[in-house]
Amino acid sequence: MDTVLPTGFECTACRFEHPTDAVRYDELGYPECPACGARTGPLAGREPDDSVEGAAN
């Protein structure tokens, strides 16, 4: 029996499903929803330009 894998991205925030080629990825490789802008990954709650406390600059 063949396994059918999903070919799209479903946003966990807005539940909208997007084709894989419509999804952008942040600098760490985590997807960003094209509809609502929600990000996934360990730093999803931070803005891209926020500095991480204690990080070396």
pLDDT tens by residue, 3-56: 766 678 888 889 888 888 888 888 888 889 989 988 887 766 666 555 555 555
- At residue 1, the pLDDT reads 63
Round to whole Å and give the CA distance between 23 and 4. 20
The predicted pLDDT at position 48 comes to 58
* pLDDT value, residue 50: 53
pLDDT of residue 47: 64
DSSP 12-48: TTT--EEEGGG-EE-TTS-EE-TTT--B-STTTTS-T
Which pLDDT value is given to residue 3?
A: 74
